């Protein structure tokens, strides 16, 4: 252990002595942890960190877990923690960082992401939501879709068209949108599972102060790449134990239900088990790369593998269970905060996994990213690359 790690461990123990988890209210504990720089140790001092190496976060987390400290429920605010925070840190003003990062990290303010649109899903750069500047205020009109958690969010990261006279990638600007402002209308979007964790969001004359812009006007596509690269790592790179996740559930059924076994299913289960282990170890390697800097396009490969594996494993589980696997208990419309892959039945997992190849970037788009940015293959012909957005065919 390096001296820095030893110092960080001692600092964490001092913090725990001053804020005993058993007797400190949860929110008070989390706010104090942020102020002590133990939230994101690699963030700057005053913004939840200590300017320490990112790898040392594990030292802090181990000490806090051993002491029974509360966490900030990262699954509930995954978009805020995994996507909004790193984007604000990189492109936000000092005032924006001080305003947004602390309540985001403690979970007091949940975030969502207003990127996808009905007419610009896979081709995100073709988005048509407009933002017009008048004085120091932007007026935003448009529609977003597939917005996870918008019904619980206080803030959203939003990209909108601000310059229709330039090619589509150059006329986009990035904002922070207050979801409680007039003109923001969140409507449930029922999915194949019967649940509505996603939403449509209609924006009608929404006023956003220019002080809530991230990055330069017209530079939103570059800012969004930070968000998207982090999103793919967050979706595809969740840390799971060996034989965890869906492969663990399928293997458990295999062990406990010998009457369901066939030779063909055995071969397929073993193949998927090996692929799941390769994906898990690849995720560990990518997380180590993150320690050295920003996530790159390699995260697209992780997300691709995650989607394909989830769909194949959930399909195998349904086949393994036969008619029992087709049962589905409840189609009542619900508004869950989280995707409960492991707490529901096999039929739910099979249906919900279909969305894995759409959410967070479709598999087709991610294949292009891997081909061009990771493997260096020739780019796909793009006839609209130099055409003004307003002149594109729709």
pLDDT of residue 1: 45
Is 38 domain-assigned? yes
Q: Is 65 in the same domain as 120?
A: no
CA distance 282 to 289: 11
pLDDT of residue 94: 97
pLDDT of residue 336: 81
Q: Decide if 176 contacts 100 (C-beta within 8 A).
A: yes
Is 157 domain-assigned? yes
CA distance 317 to 95: 50
* 37 phi-psi bin (left φ>0, alpha ψ -120 to 50, beta other): left
Is 286 domain-assigned? yes
Q: Is 259 in the same domain as 363?
A: yes
Reading the block at residue 137, the tokens are: 């205020």
Bridging pattern class, strands 213-214 and 137-144: unpaired
Q: Is 238 in the same domain as 349?
A: yes
Q: Is 211 in the same domain as 158?
A: yes
Closest CA to 124 of 59, 65, 54, 172: 172
Give the SS3 label for residue 173.
strand
Q: Which residues lie below 8 Å from residue 67, measured CB to CB, with a gap of 6+?
A: 16, 21
Q: Decide if 328 contacts 262 (C-beta within 8 A).
A: no
Handedness of CA 159, 189, 297, 384 (dihedral sign): negative
Domain termination site, one of 165, 191, 218? 218
Is 382 domain-assigned? no
- Residue 231 annotated as catalytic: yes
Is 95 domain-assigned? no
DSSP string, 149-163: TGGG-SEEEEEEE--
pLDDT of residue 204: 98
Half-sphere exposure of 156 (CA within 13 A, CB side): 31
Bridging pattern class, strands 130-134 and 184-189: unpaired
| Residue corresponding to tokens 């936000």 | 92
Predicted TM-score (pTM) of the model is 0.86
CATH of the domain at 168: 2.40.110.10
Is 105 domain-assigned? no
pLDDT of residue 295: 61
Is 77 domain-assigned? no
If residue 58 lies in a helix (H) or strand (E), which one and from where to where? helix 57-66
Is 204 domain-assigned? yes
Domain termination site, one of 159, 190, 218? 218
CA distance 334 to 238: 25
DSSP string, 191-214: -TTS---EEEEEEEEEEEEGGGEE
Bridging pattern class, strands 172-178 and 184-189: unpaired
Q: Is 63 in the same domain as 7?
A: yes
Domain termination site, one of 192, 218, 244? 218
Query: Where would I find the H helices in the chain?
Result: 3-18, 26-35, 57-66, 78-79, 85-91, 94-106, 220-236, 245-256, 263-291, 298-321, 346-353, 363-369
The residue range of the domain holding 66 is 1-71
CA angle, residues 267, 268, 272, in degrees to nearest 5: 120
Q: Is 240 in the same domain as 368?
A: yes
CA angle, residues 244, 113, 133, in degrees to nearest 5: 165
CA angle, residues 88, 91, 94, in degrees to nearest 5: 75
Q: Is 235 in the same domain as 359?
A: yes
Tens-of-pLDDT digits for all 394 residues of the chain? 455 899 999 999 999 999 999 999 999 999 999 999 999 999 999 999 999 988 898 899 999 999 999 999 888 898 999 899 999 999 999 999 999 999 999 999 999 999 999 987 678 899 999 999 999 999 999 999 989 889 999 999 999 999 999 999 999 999 999 999 999 999 999 989 988 888 999 999 999 999 999 999 999 999 999 898 777 666 655 677 888 889 999 999 999 999 999 999 999 999 999 999 998 888 877 777 666 665 666 677 888 888 999 999 999 999 999 988 888 877 788 888 777 788 788 999 999 999 888 887 788 888 888 888 888 998 888 888 789 999 887 7
Q: Is 117 in the same domain as 189?
A: yes
Q: Is 158 in the same domain as 287?
A: no
Q: Exposure of 41 by Cβ count < 10 A (0-12 exposed, 13-18 middle, 19+ buried)?
A: buried
Reading the block at residue 199, the tokens are: 């939403």
Q: Is 149 in the same domain as 270?
A: no
Reading the block at residue 374, the tokens are: 């990771």
Q: Decide if 302 contacts 286 (C-beta within 8 A).
A: yes
Q: Is 286 in the same domain as 213?
A: no
Beta strands in the chain (DSSP E): 111-114, 130-134, 137-144, 155-161, 172-178, 184-189, 198-209, 213-214
Q: What is the total count of domains within the chain?
A: 3
Q: Is 272 in the same domain as 245?
A: yes
CA distance 108 to 63: 24
pLDDT of residue 238: 66
Q: Please identify which of the residues 109, 117, 195, 231 carries the catalytic annotation.
A: 231
CATH of the domain at 304: 1.20.140.10
Q: What's phi and psi for 42, nearest 5 deg?
A: -85, -5
């Amino acid at each position: 252990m390096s001296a820095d790690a030893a110092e960080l461990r001692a600092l964490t123990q001092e913090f725990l002595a001053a804020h005993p988890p058993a007797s400190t209210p949860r929110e008070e504990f989390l706010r104090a942890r942020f102020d002590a720089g133990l939230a994101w140790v690699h963030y700057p001092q005053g913004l939840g960190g200590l300017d320490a190496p990112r790898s040392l976060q594990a030292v802090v987390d181990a000490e806090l877990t051993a002491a029974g400290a509360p966490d900030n429920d990262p699954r509930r605010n995954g978009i805020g923690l995994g996507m909004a925070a790193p984007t604000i840190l990189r492109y936000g003003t000092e005032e924006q960082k001080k305003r947004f990062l602390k309540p985001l990290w403690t979970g007091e303010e949940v975030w969502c992401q207003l990127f996808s649109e009905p007419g610009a899903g896979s081709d995100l750069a073709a988005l048509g939501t407009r933002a017009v500047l008048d004085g120091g205020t932007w007026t935003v009109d448009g529609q977003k879709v597939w917005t996870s958690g918008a019904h619980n969010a206080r803030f959203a990261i939003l990209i909108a068209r601000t310059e229709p006279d330039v090619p589509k990638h150059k006329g986009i600007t990035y904002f922070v949108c207050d979801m409680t402002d007039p003109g923001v209308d969140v409507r449930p979007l029922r999915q194949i599972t019967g649940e509505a964790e996603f939403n449509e969001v209609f924006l009608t004359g929404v006023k956003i102060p220019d002080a809530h812009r991230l990055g330069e006007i017209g530079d939103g596509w570059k800012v969004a790449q930070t968000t998207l690269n982090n999103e793919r790592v967050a979706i595809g790179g969740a840390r799971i134990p060996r034989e965890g996740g869906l492969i663990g559930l399928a293997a458990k059924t295999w062990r406990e239900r010998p009457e369901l076994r066939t030779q063909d299913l055995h071969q397929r289960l073993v193949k998927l088990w090996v692929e799941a282990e390769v994906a898990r170890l690849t995720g560990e390697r990518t997380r180590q790369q993150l320690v050295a800097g920003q996530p790159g396009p390699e995260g697209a490969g992780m997300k691709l593998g995650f989607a394909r594996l989830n769909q194949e494993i959930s399909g195998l589980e349904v086949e393994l269970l036969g008619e029992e696997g087709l049962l589905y208990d409840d189609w009542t419309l619900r508004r869950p905060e989280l995707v409960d892959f492991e707490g529901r039945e096999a039929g739910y997992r099979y249906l919900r996994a279909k969305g894995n190849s759409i959410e967070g970037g479709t598999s087709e788009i991610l294949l292009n990213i891997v081909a061009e940015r990771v493997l260096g293959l020739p780019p796909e012909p793009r006839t609209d690359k130099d055409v003004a957005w307003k002149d594109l065919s729709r």
